[in-house]
C-alpha cells in the first residue's frame, strides 16, 4: 500500500476525531436533562454572559460554567482533572497541532481535545484568540452537517418532554429507555472515569489509534443512554449516534485538509488565519461504497457450514476494512454495513468543476487505497469481484443510492477483483500440471478445482472436489467454529446442525428456508421515512403564535408576522413556492419574510448574509444554490406517483416537516433493525423449542431454516412481531418474508438461488391503494344503557395509557380485509404521538388530495379514505425438482407485482400480503373440505381453468374466464354450506380467482404436513 499519511498526520486526524466524539460531553451531565425537560430553565443565557458560549452544555470547561456545579467539582478531583485536561493539555495540543505550512499565518491552534466542545456553541463574545481553527472547522464543517438534519424540533410545539415521562425512543418511534437526570447521573460519572482512564493515561498519546479504539468501545454504551436532542420526536438519535456521525464528518474534513498537499486548509481561512464561514460550501463529503455481491458469492453454496463460514470471513473483512479506513489510513469512518459491503463517510474534495473534484478524490484517496482495499477483501476468496462506488461531493449526506451501487450505470464506480494476480497464477499452475483434470470449482465458479471422469450414470451434484478456498469453508475446523460464529450474529446457540435433523425434529421430511428483508434503498434514500413528521404544520403554527405573544409582551411595538395563511401543509408549500419564484426573478425576500422562512424551515442560515454554503455571486442565486444542494435534495428521491409535491415549494414544505434521514438517524435505524432481526430469530427459536438453524443476518434482514412443519407458525410469529414493532411507522416502512420449501437433502445452492429470486421483489413492490373500512379506538369508556359511565367493578383491568390509544384500522385491500393496530401513544399520557403514525392519503372524504397534505395522521382517517400503503408481502415456493425456479421473475402490473404461477400460468399471481397471512393460513380450514374433497375440487378447478382460460387463444379468454367463474360459483354453492356460507363462499371465490387458494392448499396440506398428521389421515 502506498503510504497515505505520515505518522504525525495520522495522529492529528485521530486526535481530532476524538475531540469530535467528546464535543457534546456536556449533554451527559444530569443538569442538561434538567434544563431540557419539563419546566426546566435553559441556562444558555447565563453562560452566554459568563463565558460567551450560547449553550450551557458547551461551557462545562469554562470557569464561568453553569454546570457541573462547584460542590460537585470540589468532591470529585477526577472530574476537575478531566475538564482541565480537555481545556488544555500539552501532549494532546502537540497531537492536534496542524503543521504551520498547512495554514495561513495567524491561525489559532487547539490547546486540547475540548476545542470542539467549547467552540460548537461559541457566540460573538467568545475570545477570538481562543477560537482555534480546528474547533471552528468542527463547528461549521461537521457539527451542523449532522444536527441540521436532526433538528426537529426548533419552532414546534409539543416536543418538550415531561420530566416524569421522558424517554429515549427507538427508530420506530417506540420507547426504548427512560431518560432522566437520575439516569444521567450514573452515566456521567462513568464517562468521566472512562475518559480519565483512556484519554489521560500517561501513554494515551503514544498510540492514538489504540486510545481511540478503547475509548470508543467504552463510551458507546454510555453515550447510548443519553440524548443529543431531547425533544420529541427526535429523541431517537442517541448521543452516541450524533457523536459518531459528527466526529466522522470532522475526521473526513481534517483528512481532506491533510491530503490536499498543495493548499491544505488555506482555502478555508480568512486573511487573518481564522476559519472563513464564507467558504463553508467547500467543506463537503462523499460516501464511498466498497461493495461485493453476496447473492452471487453464496449462490453456489453446497452446505450451510460453508455459508456460515463465508459469513464469518465477511465479518473479518469488514473489520479489516474498518481498520484500514478508520485507523491505518484514517480518511473517514464506516457508517453502514450489510451483506454486500460497507459505506465510508469520506472527504468530498469540492471544486467548482466536478471533473476536477473527482480527479482529486481519485488521486488522493482511491488510487492510493485501492490495492489495500483489495487485500482486505481477499479472505472472501481469491478472485472475488467487488466495486468501489462513490457519490458526488455534498453539503449534507442524504443520498446513499449511488454509494450502495444501486445505480448500475453510474460513472462513479470501479469494477475490481480481489487477488486478481493470484487467481491468474492459480489457473496457470493448474493448467500446467500434466495429467490432472481441472475444472472450474462448482461452488465458487471462480477458482480451479481438480476433477475426474464421471460415468454417464453418475450424479455430478454430490461430492465433487472443490477449490482450496471452498474446501476450507466446510472443513472440520469450519464445522466446529460454526455454532460460535452463529451465536455472535444471532445471540443464541443453535443446538441443531443439519437440515435432516431439523426436518426430523419437526416431524417432517422437508425444511423451509426463510428470509426477512427490508428495502435498503428506500431506507437509505429516506423515502421510507417520509411518513414520519418532526414538525407537523399545526405544531409550527402554534409555536410561532406563542412566540409572537411573548414578543408582544416584551415589546409593545412588536409587529406580528401574518401567518393566518398557514392553514395546512399545502398552504406552506404555496408560500415557499412564491419565495422561490421571487428568488428565480432575482428578488430577495423582505427581512420579515426571510425570518419567517427560516422559522418555518427550522433552519438557521438560509437567506442570511453569513450563509457560506454557496459561493455564488448574488444573494438570490446563493439562496437558490443552497436550496438546490441541500433543502430540496432529500425529496428528489420521492416517487412521482406518490404526488407529495406539486412544485419545489412543496419540497421545501416537506423539508420543514419531515424527520430527516440524517446519517445519525440512519445509523440508529440500521442498529435497531439488526436488533429486531435478532429478537425475531430468538422469538422463533423460543416458540419452536430451538428447532431453528440460523444462516445469516445483516442490517437489511436475516435468513434461517426451520422444519417445513413449523413454517406456518414461523411466518405467523414474524408477521405478529413486525406488525407490533413497525406499528407507528407502517405508513412508510415494510418488511417482506420469502420462503423456499424443500426436502432436507435437496441441494442447498438451488434453494438459495430461489430465495434470492424471491427476495429480488423487495425493492420492486409498489405501494398499493388501500381503503379504510373502519377505524376505531380502544379507549371508549364502558357505557351503560343510559350512556353514563359505569361505576361498578371494571370488567377488564384498566388499560394503561399506551393501550388506550391503540387505533384499530381495517383496510380493504386487493386481497381482502387487513387489520392494523396503530400505537398513537407516547410514554407520556398527556402527549399523543402526533409525529410518527402518518400515511400517504390519496383521497379524503371522497376528494382527491395532492401535495404534502397527502401526509395524513391515522387519527384523521375516515372510513372510505384511500391511502397509498407499502405492502408487506409473503411469497413462497416449493422445490420439488429444479425446473420451476427459472420462471421465477416478477413483473410490475400497475400497483401489483406478479410472477408466473403453476396454475395461473403466465398471468401469474401477486405475492401474498403478510398482513393477510392469518386468513391465507385459514383458507383451507375455512372451506371445511376434507383432504379427498380438496383434491377432487382443486383438480376440477385447475383443469377447467387450463381448458377454458389458460390454454385457449387470447380472443376466447374473456368468455372462458366468465364461464370458469360461473362454474366456481356453482361449486361453492354446492360444497360450502352452513349459516355463514355466503361470507365464506365470497372469501374462497376471491382466493380461487387470484390463485391464492391453490397456494393455500399447497401450504396447508403439503408444506405444513407432519408425518403424524399424514398417518392420521391415512388411518
Ligand atoms: Zn471454489
| pLDDT tens readout for residues 114-141 | 999 999 999 999 999 999 999 999 999 8
In angstroms, the CA 402 to CA 404 distance is: 5
Segments of the chain scoring below 70 in pLDDT: 1-3, 147-153, 399, 452-463, 778-804, 881-886, 1018-1019
Inter-axis angle of helices 569-584 and 619-626, nearest 10:
140
Q: Are 759 and 875 in contact (CB under 8 A)?
A: no
Helix (H) or strand (E) holding 514: strand 510-518
- Cβ neighbours of residue 626 closer than 8 Å, sequence gap 6 or more: 395, 605, 606, 611, 613, 614
Quick one: pLDDT at residue 155? 79
Number of neighbours of residue 563 by Cβ within 10 angstroms: 18
In angstroms, the CA 535 to CA 210 distance is: 42
Residue 479 burial by Cβ neighbours in a 10 Å radius (0-12, 13-18, 19+): middle
Number of neighbours of residue 192 by Cβ within 10 angstroms: 22
For residue 443, report the distance from its CA to the centre of ligand 1, in Å: 5
Cα 139 to chain center, whole Å?
Answer: 26
Q: Are 279 and 253 in contact (CB under 8 A)?
A: no
> Of all residues in the chain, what percent are helix, strand and coil, respectively (each to 5)?
50, 15, 35
In angstroms, the CA 744 to CA 741 distance is: 9
- Cβ neighbours of residue 748 closer than 8 Å, sequence gap 6 or more: 301, 302, 303, 304, 307, 499
For residue 609, report the distance from its CA to the centre of ligand 1, in Å: 62
Cross-strand partners of 816:
813
Q: Are 898 and 909 in contact (CB under 8 A)?
A: yes
For residue 368, report the distance from its CA to the centre of ligand 1, in Å: 30
Quick one: pLDDT at residue 463? 67
Quick one: pLDDT at residue 884? 63
Q: How far is CA 148 from CA 247, 368, 604, 660, in A?
A: 15, 33, 9, 9
For residue 449, report the distance from its CA to the centre of ligand 1, in Å: 7
In angstroms, the CA 816 to CA 597 distance is: 45
In angstroms, the CA 813 to CA 769 distance is: 7
In angstroms, the CA 242 to CA 264 distance is: 27
In angstroms, the CA 674 to CA 836 distance is: 21
For residue 170, report the distance from its CA to the centre of ligand 1, in Å: 42
For residue 429, report the distance from its CA to the centre of ligand 1, in Å: 16
For residue 408, report the distance from its CA to the centre of ligand 1, in Å: 27
Question: For 775, phi and psi rounded to 5 degrees?
Answer: -145, 125
Q: How far is CA 164 from CA 39, 169, 180, 410, 751, in A?
A: 11, 15, 8, 51, 52
Quick one: pLDDT at residue 782? 33
For residue 234, report the distance from its CA to the centre of ligand 1, in Å: 48
**Residue 248 in 3-state DSSP?**
helix
For residue 317, report the distance from its CA to the centre of ligand 1, in Å: 18
Q: Please give the DSSP secondary-structure letter assigned to residue 609.
A: T
Q: Are 726 and 680 in contact (CB under 8 A)?
A: no
All residues with CB under 5 Å from ion ligand 1: 441, 443-444, 447, 467, 470
Count CA atoms closer than 13 A to 1's CA, side-chain side. 18
In angstroms, the CA 316 to CA 379 distance is: 8
For residue 451, report the distance from its CA to the centre of ligand 1, in Å: 13
For residue 441, report the distance from its CA to the centre of ligand 1, in Å: 5
For residue 455, report the distance from its CA to the centre of ligand 1, in Å: 23
176: its cell numbers: 426504548
Number of neighbours of residue 88 by Cβ within 10 angstroms: 15
**Residue 571 in 3-state DSSP?**
helix
Give me the numbers of helices (H) and strands (E) for the chain, helices first please. Answer: 36, 25
β-strand pairing of 437-440 with 448-451: antiparallel
Quick one: pLDDT at residue 783? 34
For the chain, the residue count is: 1019
Amino acid at each position: 500500500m502506498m503510504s497515505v499519511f505520515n505518522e504525525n498526520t495520522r495522529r492529528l486526524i485521530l486526535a481530532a476525531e476524538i475531540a469530535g466524539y467528546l464535543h457534546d460531553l456536556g449533554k451527559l451531565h444530569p443538569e442538561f436533562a434538567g434544563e431540557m425537560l419539563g419546566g426546566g430553565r435553559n441556562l444558555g443565557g447565563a453562560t452566554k454572559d459568563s463565558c460567551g458560549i450560547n449553550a450551557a452544555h458547551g461551557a462545562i470547561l469554562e470557569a464561568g460554567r453553569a454546570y457541573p456545579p462547584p460542590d460537585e467539582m470540589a468532591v470529585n478531583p477526577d472530574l476537575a482533572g478531566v475538564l482541565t485536561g480537555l481545556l488544555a493539555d500539552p501532549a494532546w495540543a502537540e497531537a492536534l497541532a496542524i503543521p504551520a505550512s498547512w495554514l495561513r499565518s495567524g491561525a489559532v491552534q487547539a490547546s486540547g481535545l475540548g476545542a470542539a466542545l467549547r467552540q460548537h456553541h461559541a457566540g460573538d463574545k467568545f475570545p477570538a484568540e481562543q477560537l482555534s481553527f480546528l474547533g471552528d472547522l468542527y463547528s461549521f464543517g461537521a457539527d451542523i452537517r449532522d444536527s441540521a438534519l436532526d433538528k426537529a424540533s426548533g419552532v414546534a410545539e409539543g416536543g418538550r418532554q415531561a420530566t416524569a415521562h421522558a424517554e429515549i425512543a427507538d427508530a420506530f418511534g417506540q420507547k426504548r429507555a427512560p431518560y432522566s437526570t437520575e439516569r444521567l447521573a450514573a452515566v456521567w460519572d462513568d464517562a468521566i472515569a472512562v475518559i480519565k482512564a483512556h484519554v489521560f493515561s500517561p501513554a494515551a498519546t503514544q498510540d492514538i489509534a489504540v486510545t481511540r479504539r478503547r475509548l470508543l468501545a467504552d463510551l458507546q454504551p454510555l453515550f447510548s443512554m443519553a440524548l443529543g436532542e431531547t425533544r420529541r420526536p427526535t429523541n431517537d438519535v442517541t448521543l452516541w449516534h450524533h457523536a459518531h456521525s459528527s466526529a466522522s464528518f470532522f475526521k473526513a474534513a481534517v483528512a481532506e485538509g491533510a491530503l490536499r498537499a498543495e493548499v491544505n486548509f488555506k482555502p478555508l481561512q480568512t486573511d487573518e488565519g481564522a476559519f472563513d464561514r464564507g467558504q463553508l460550501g467547500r467543506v463537503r463529503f462523499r460516501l464511498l461504497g466498497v461493495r461485493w455481491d453476496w447473492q452471487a458469492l453464496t449462490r453456489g453454496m453446497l452446505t450451510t457450514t460453508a455459508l456460515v463460514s463465508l459469513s464469518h470471513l465477511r465479518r473479518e473483512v469488514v473489520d479489516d476494512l474498518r481498520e484500514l479506513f478508520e485507523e491505518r489510513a484514517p480518511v473517514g469512518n464506516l457508517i453502514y454495513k450489510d451483506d454486500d459491503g460497507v459505506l465510508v463517510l469520506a472527504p468530498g474534495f469540492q471544486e467548482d468543476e466536478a471533473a476536477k473534484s473527482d480527479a482529486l478524490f481519485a488521486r488522493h484517496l482511491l488510487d492510493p487505497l485501492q490495492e489495500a482495499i483489495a487485500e482486505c477483501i481477499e479472505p472472501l476468496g481469491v478472485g472475488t469481484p467487488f466495486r468501489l462506488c462513490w457519490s458526488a461531493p455534498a453539503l449534507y449526506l442524504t443520498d446513499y443510492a449511488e454509494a450502495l451501487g444501486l445505480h448500475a450505470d453510474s460513472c462513479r464506480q470501479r469494477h475490481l477483483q480481489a487477488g486478481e494476480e493470484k487467481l491468474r497464477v492459480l489457473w496457470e499452475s493448474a493448467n500446467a500440471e500434466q495429467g490432472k483434470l481441472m475444472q472450474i470449482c462448482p461452488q465458487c465458479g471462480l477458482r480451479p478445482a481438480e476433477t475426474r471422469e464421471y460415468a454417464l450414470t453418475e450424479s455430478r451434484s454430490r461430492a465433487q472436489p472443490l477449490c482450496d478456498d471452498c474446501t476450507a469453508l466446510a472443513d472440520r475446523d469450519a464445522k466446529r467454529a460454526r455454532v460460535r460464529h452463529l451465536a455472535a450474529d444471532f445471540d443464541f446457540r443453535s443446538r441443531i446442525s443439519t437440515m435432516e435433523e431439523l426436518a426430523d425434529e419437526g416431524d417432517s421430511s422437508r425444511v423451509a428456508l426463510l428470509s426477512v428483508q427490508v428495502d435498503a434503498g428506500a431506507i437509505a434514500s429516506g423515502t421510507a421515512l417520509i411518513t414520519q413528521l418532526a414538525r407537523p404544520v399545526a405544531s409550527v403554527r402554534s409555536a410561532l403564535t406563542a412566540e409572537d405573544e411573548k414578543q408582544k409582551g416584551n415589546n409593545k411595538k412588536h409587529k406580528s408576522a401574518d401567518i393566518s395563511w398557514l392553514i395546512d401543509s399545502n398552504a406552506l408549500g404555496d408560500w415557499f413556492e412564491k419565495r422561490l419564484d421571487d428568488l428565480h426573478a432575482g428578488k430577495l425576500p423582505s427581512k420579515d419574510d426571510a425570518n419567517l422562512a427560516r422559522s418555518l424551515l427550522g433552519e438557521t442560515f438560509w437567506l442570511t448574509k453569513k450563509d457560506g454554503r454557496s459561493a455564488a455571486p448574488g444573494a438570490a442565486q446563493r439562496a437558490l444554490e443552497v436550496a438546490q444542494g441541500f433543502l430540496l435534495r432529500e425529496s428528489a428521491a420521492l416517487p412521482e406517483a406518490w404526488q407529495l409535491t406539486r412544485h419545489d415549494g412543496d419540497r421545501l414544505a416537506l423539508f420543514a416537516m419531515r424527520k430527516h434521514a440524517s446519517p445519525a438517524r440512519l445509523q440508529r435505524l440500521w442498529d435497531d433493525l439488526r436488533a429486531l432481526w435478532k429478537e425475531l430469530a430468538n422469538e422463533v427459536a423460543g416458540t419452536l423449542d430451538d428447532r431453528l438453524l440460523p444462516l445469516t443476518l445483516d442490517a437489511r434482514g436475516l435468513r434461517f431454516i426451520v422444519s417445513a412443519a413449523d413454517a406456518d407458525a414461523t411466518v405467523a410469529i414474524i408477521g405478529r412481531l413486525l406488525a407490533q414493532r413497525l406499528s407507528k411507522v407502517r405508513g412508510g416502512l415494510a418488511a417482506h418474508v420469502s420462503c423456499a420449501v424443500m426436502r432436507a437433502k435437496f441441494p442447498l445452492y438451488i434453494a438459495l438461488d430461489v430465495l434470492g429470486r424471491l427476495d429480488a421483489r423487495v425493492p420492486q413492490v409498489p405501494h398499493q391503494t388501500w381503503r379504510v373500512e373502519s377505524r376505531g379506538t380502544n379507549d371508549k369508556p364502558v357505557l351503560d344503557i343510559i350512556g353514563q359511565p359505569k361505576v361498578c367493578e371494571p370488567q377488564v383491568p384498566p388499560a394503561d395509557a399506551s393501550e388506550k390509544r391503540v387505533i384499530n384500522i381495517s383496510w380493504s385491500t386487493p386481497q381482502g380485509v387487513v387489520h392494523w393496530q396503530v400505537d398513537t401513544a407516547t410514554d407520556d399520557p398527556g402527549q399523543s404521538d402526533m409525529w410518527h403514525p402518518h400515511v400517504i392519503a390519496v383521497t379524503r372524504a371522497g376528494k382527491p388530495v395532492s401535495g404534502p397534505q397527502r401526509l395524513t395522521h391515522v387519527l384523521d382517517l375516515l372510513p372510505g379514505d384511500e391511502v397509498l400503503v407499502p405492502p408487506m408481502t409473503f411469497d413462497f415456493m416449493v422445490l420439488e425438482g429444479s425446473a420451476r425456479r427459472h420462471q421465477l421473475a416478477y413483473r410490475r402490473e400497475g400497483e401489483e407485482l406478479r410472477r408466473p404461477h403453476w396454475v395461473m400460468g403466465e398471468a401469474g399471481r401477486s405475492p401474498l400480503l403478510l398482513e393477510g397471512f392469518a386468513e391465507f393460513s385459514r383458507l383451507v380450514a375455512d372451506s371445511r373440505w376434507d383432504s379427498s374433497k380438496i383434491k377432487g375440487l382443486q383438480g376440477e378447478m385447475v383443469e377447467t381453468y387450463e381448458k377454458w382460460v389458460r390454454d385457449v387463444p387470447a380472443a376466447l379468454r374473456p368468455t372462458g374466464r366468465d364461464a370458469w367463474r360461473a362454474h366456481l360459483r356453482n361449486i361453492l354453492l354446492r360444497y360450502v354450506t352452513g349459516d355463514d356460507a355466503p361470507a365464506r363462499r365470497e372469501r374462497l371465490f376471491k382466493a380461487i380467482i387470484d390463485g391464492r387458494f391453490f397456494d393455500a392448499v399447497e401450504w396447508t396440506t403439503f408444506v405444513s404436513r407432519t408425518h403424524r398428521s399424514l398417518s392420521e389421515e391415512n388411518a
